[in-house]
Amino acid sequence: MTARTLWTFAITSVALFMVSLDNLVVTTAIPVIRTDLGASLESLEWTVNAYTLTFAVLLLTGAALGDRFGRRLMFSIGVGIFTVASVAAALAPTVEALDVARAVQGLGAAIVMPLTLTLLSASVSPERRGLALGAWGGIGGLAVAFGPVVGGAVVDGISWHWIFWLNVPIGLVLVPLALLRLDESQGPGDRLDLPGVGLASAGMLGLVWALINGNADGWTSTQIVAPLVAGLTLLGAFAAWELRSPAPMLPLRFFRNRAFALGNVSSLFMFFGMFGSIFLLAQFFQTVQGYSPLQSGLRILPWTIAPMFIAPIAGALSDKISPRLILGAGLSLQAAALAWIASVTTPTAPYGELVIPFALAGVGMALFFAPMANVVLSAVRPAEEGQASGANNAIRELGGVFGVAVLAAVFSRVGGYESGVAFVDGMRSAVYVGAAVVGIGAVAAFLIPSPRTCSEATTVAVDRPGERLVPQPEAA
């Protein structure tokens, strides 16, 4: 690797670690935040989902901004936004202020995340892409691994506010380094799809609002039915707009490629089960079994640390073995592990009964990251990688949003915080649902076509109304 490539890898990896860490760093702090700020279950869901929802919906815009104004410039701006929002979250006096700050953090992360992948991909040769993406996946996995532990250690040692202060010095170092050491590049996009952003954002907000508040307000109440119907209508309008937009935020033609479509279905369902389950399990150890935040984070570690070691190997193997086999095996392990966790959990369950299923879930998660990135980027042309990576990241983050919202709704319907038995009753039902959804994702992964046929002549040369779509040749 050249010195420039090494700098690119270092800068993008640290940024990836920072924004990925914030996906899970609050999980072990949730019980403390609930007590400190007097937050309800719905408010706690927004503490997680305010970040992931804005992250997911605006990821495609982040990639488009990089294509238009320069990836290095927008990467630096995104890190700056994330850093300032971290200060606001650390100083938040109420749960509502915290949720707003988390939403702005999601905006910054939405700009940074897809650009880490496109900047890194552009800096390495095609034959080394699998290895580079494996390392990229390993860094993301490292953040996932240490998110609950870092959160628990900081909450135990100082206070929950410091899980956000940690981002500030990192951001202050990254911005000047990025401006000095990264090469500037742009993509083919010259227009922003602002109507698409508005329709997608409003539609997703309506759906998530209904899912989070359905149990409290009543599923047939006007307060729930109205945003649910409005959300679905707006998402339908988004799809219709994207089909006719001269510069779509999400080119729907990408989904004509079976590899791209099935890969994103797998991503959606994998993150649904993972985020929804960890949201509840982190609370289980503290609320039911009385462990401290750090002790809780350490008990989740066998699950979350596996990607650190296995994701780079999976990335290298994805250059030699069909990615669908690796992905399908990983999601199958994840689904089986979640079902195992649900079956053995009781209020007094010894931790030893959870270690093996936690480890299996971690291996399954590790087998997912890098092969999925390879599948998605291989399904489009190099000039379209920014949009493709943004789409994949957006869809998997939406999986996390829906996972937290749906599994928390199941939890609230079946159980609650009244007692340890009530909590476990709700959590077990929710985790079983998560296992079933991840299992469907495994089926989708096994159906991804092999590399020889994955292009299926579906990547097109143009995406402008009135021009004939020209199929590209199949991948070799």
How many alpha carbons fall within 13 Å on the CB side of residue 146? 14
Indicate the domain borders of the chain: 3-181+245-446, 194-244
pTM over 0.85: no
Q: 3-181+245-446 in CATH: which number? A: 1.20.1250.20
Between the CA of residue 122 and those of 136, 141, 230, 288, what are the distances in Å? Answer: 13, 22, 40, 48
Q: Centre a 10 Å sphere on the Cβ of residue 348 and count the other Cβ atoms it contains.
A: 8
| pLDDT per residue as tens, the chain (476 positions) | 577 677 787 888 888 888 887 777 777 788 888 888 877 777 777 787 788 778 877 877 777 788 778 888 999 999 999 999 999 999 988 888 998 999 999 899 888 887 887 787 776 666 666 666 667 666 766 776 677 777 788 888 788 888 889 899 999 999 999 988 887 877 665 567 778 878 887 887 788 778 777 777 777 888 889 988 998 999 899 888 888 887 777 778 888 888 888 988 998 999 898 888 888 888 888 888 888 888 888 888 888 777 667 766 766 676 677 778 888 888 999 999 999 999 999 998 898 889 899 989 888 887 887 677 778 777 777 767 767 777 787 788 788 878 888 898 899 888 888 888 999 999 999 999 999 999 999 999 899 887 554 444 444 434 444 433 333 333 33
**Rounded Cα gap, residues 116 and 277, in angstroms:** 27
**Rounded Cα gap, residues 196 and 203, in angstroms:** 10
Cβ pair 9, 129 in contact under 8 A: no
What tokens does 7 get?
Answer: 């700098």
**Rounded Cα gap, residues 210 and 352, in angstroms:** 38
Q: Tokens 């410091």 belong to which residue?
A: 162
Cβ pair 426, 415 in contact under 8 A: yes
DSSP string, 77-121: HHHHHHHHHHHHHHT-SSHHHHHHHHHHHHHHHHHHHHHHHHHHH
Between the CA of residue 296 and those of 49, 137, 147, 262, 421, what are the distances in Å? Answer: 21, 25, 12, 35, 19
Instruction: Report how far apart the first and last C-alpha atoms of the chain are (Å, whole number).
Output: 26
Mark 372-401 as b/e (b = at least 16 C-beta within 10 Å). bbbbbbbbbeeebbbbbbbbbbbbbbbbbb
Cβ pair 147, 19 in contact under 8 A: no
What tokens does 130 get?
Answer: 């699998």
DSSP string, 372-427: HHHHHHHTS-GGGHHHHHHHHHHHHHHHHHHHHHHHHHHHHHH--SSSHHHHHHHH
Q: What angle do CA 121, 327, 454 make, to 5 degrees?
A: 65
In degrees and rounded to multiples of 5, residue 104 shows phi and psi of -70, -35
